[in-house]
Amino acid sequence: MKFSLATSLLSLATLVLGASRTTAPSGALVVGSGQKYSTISKAVSALSSTTTNEQIIYIQPGTYKEQVYIPALKGPLTIYGSTKDTTTYSSNQVIITSGFGLDTKSTDDLTATLRVWTTNFKLYNVNVKNTRGQGSQALALSASASNQGYYACQFLGFQDTVLAQQGTQLYAKSYIEGATDFVFGQHAQAWFEQVHFGVLAASQGYVTASGRVSNDNGYYVINKGTIAAAAGNTVPAGAYYLGRPWGAFARVVFQSTSMSNVINAKGWSVWQASDTRTGNVIFEEYGNTGAGASGTRATFSKKIASPVAIGTVLGSAYASAKYVDASYM
């Protein structure tokens, strides 16, 4: 059999793109059965809180039933999950899971399965799940510090799945699942790059709930994403809205995103009938496609003439930031 140069290059590219990560990087704290650290929390506790050097945690395949809190550190932290393909969340082999809701905890943050309070943080190929289900705010992730990057991860919940709360944050080639306000927060400047949003069976739902207040930097931009019913879920056409304003100055943009018919023709919703909060919102769209991108949108939203640049959200020097991994962009 003869192979052309093009075929050989394609095969090489496929191998590079589908690279696995099944062994720990040099110097990493290793979590897993038979390792020094049997839980992720124990590895986090062993980290230095004073070094300015990068620290690494590597997690072996398995389901870890724990809440993980990562406090502020002096230097960067990277956590890698074992995977057969680093480029996609579909091959992840690590799951962190817990099931707390606001009915048992005093704040949204304290319900989160993963609470990240440190800067210059990166997470790769880890699935984070809150199993609480319908009936209470119950976070998978509380991202409560600046300069955080999440790559090829899954975040699974029902209400308030991801709290993007503070500073610059990047979510790339990841999956976020939920039904009610499942991307929310107040102050974060968050960019969602090629993220798939899976919506659960519900008669009505909302993808985002920006809590931005006047003169705040809070900004959510969903770029080149997709929105569709989560696997195994039957969702009525028009059941979901792109967002509603938790804060009176909510600011959210969906651009170049494919939307199935689960998205309502109005696109955007008021907070509630008796408290609309729409007078100062910035709800915008650019270049979206699919059945859910068409229709007469809400009067308090608008189509924009050009897309928002990533530097507008993450800063003009974002490309050189330690938390940004350009290979996922």
- My answer on whether 53 and 71 are in the same domain is yes
- My answer on whether 91 and 217 are in the same domain is no
- My answer on whether 306 and 287 are in the same domain is yes
Q: Is residue 5 one of the residues assigned to a domain?
A: no
CATH of the domain at 87: 2.160.20.10
Residues 6+ apart with CB under 8 A from 259: 226, 227, 288, 289, 290, 291, 292, 293
Query: How would you class 321 by CB atoms within 10 Å of its CB: exposed for 0-12, middle for 13-18, buried for 19 or more?
Result: middle
The domain boundary, picked from 133, 152, 178, lies at 178
- Cα pseudo-dihedral 91, 93, 76, 37, rounded to 10: -170
Q: Is residue 255 one of the residues assigned to a domain?
A: yes
DSSP secondary structure letters along 15-50: HHHT--B-SPPTTPEEESTTSSBSSHHHHHHTS-SS
Residues 87 and 181: their CA atoms lie apart, in Å, by 27
Cβ-contact 229, 198 below 8 angstroms: yes
Give the total residue count for the chain.
329
Q: Map residue 311 onto helix, strand or coil.
A: helix
Cβ-contact 158, 200 below 8 angstroms: yes
Q: Map residue 312 onto helix, strand or coil.
A: helix
Residue 160 among the catalytic residues? yes
The closest alpha carbon to 31, from 20, 45, 19, belongs to 45
Beta strands, E only, 217-272: 219-223, 226-229, 240-243, 251-255, 258-259
DSSP secondary structure letters along 108-143: HHHH-SEEE--SSEEEES-EEEE---TTS---SEEE
Q: Is residue 121 one of the residues assigned to a domain?
A: yes
Residues 284 and 253: their CA atoms lie apart, in Å, by 5
Q: Is residue 235 one of the residues assigned to a domain?
A: yes
Q: Is residue 325 one of the residues assigned to a domain?
A: no
Residues 154 and 140: their CA atoms lie apart, in Å, by 9
Q: Are strands 62-65 and 68-70 parallel, antiparallel or unpaired?
A: unpaired
- My answer on whether 110 and 207 are in the same domain is no
Q: Is residue 173 one of the residues assigned to a domain?
A: yes
Residue 181 among the catalytic residues? yes
- My answer on whether 118 and 225 are in the same domain is no
User: Which among 160, 216, 275, 325 is annotated as catalytic?
Assistant: 160
- My answer on whether 209 and 113 are in the same domain is no
Structure tokens at 184: 């929310």
Residues 6+ apart with CB under 8 A from 11: none
Q: Is residue 17 one of the residues assigned to a domain?
A: no
The domain boundary, picked from 120, 152, 178, lies at 178
- Cα pseudo-dihedral 41, 42, 45, 46, rounded to 10: -140
Q: Are strands 114-116 and 196-199 parallel, antiparallel or unpaired?
A: unpaired
Cβ-contact 173, 197 below 8 angstroms: no
- My answer on whether 174 and 188 are in the same domain is no
Q: Is residue 19 one of the residues assigned to a domain?
A: no
Query: How would you class 296 by CB atoms within 10 Å of its CB: exposed for 0-12, middle for 13-18, buried for 19 or more?
Result: exposed
Structure tokens at 270: 């008021």
User: Which among 85, 103, 109, 181 is annotated as catalytic?
Assistant: 181
- My answer on whether 219 and 255 are in the same domain is yes
The dihedral region occupied by 193, where left means phi > 0, alpha psi between -120 and 50, and beta the remainder, is beta
Domain that holds residue 67: 28-178
- My answer on whether 297 and 158 are in the same domain is no
The domain boundary, picked from 178, 213, 234, lies at 178
- My answer on whether 251 and 142 are in the same domain is no
Q: How many domains does the chain have?
A: 2
Task: Report residues of the chain scoring pLDDT below 70.
Answer: 1-18
- My answer on whether 55 and 169 are in the same domain is yes
- My answer on whether 157 and 47 are in the same domain is yes
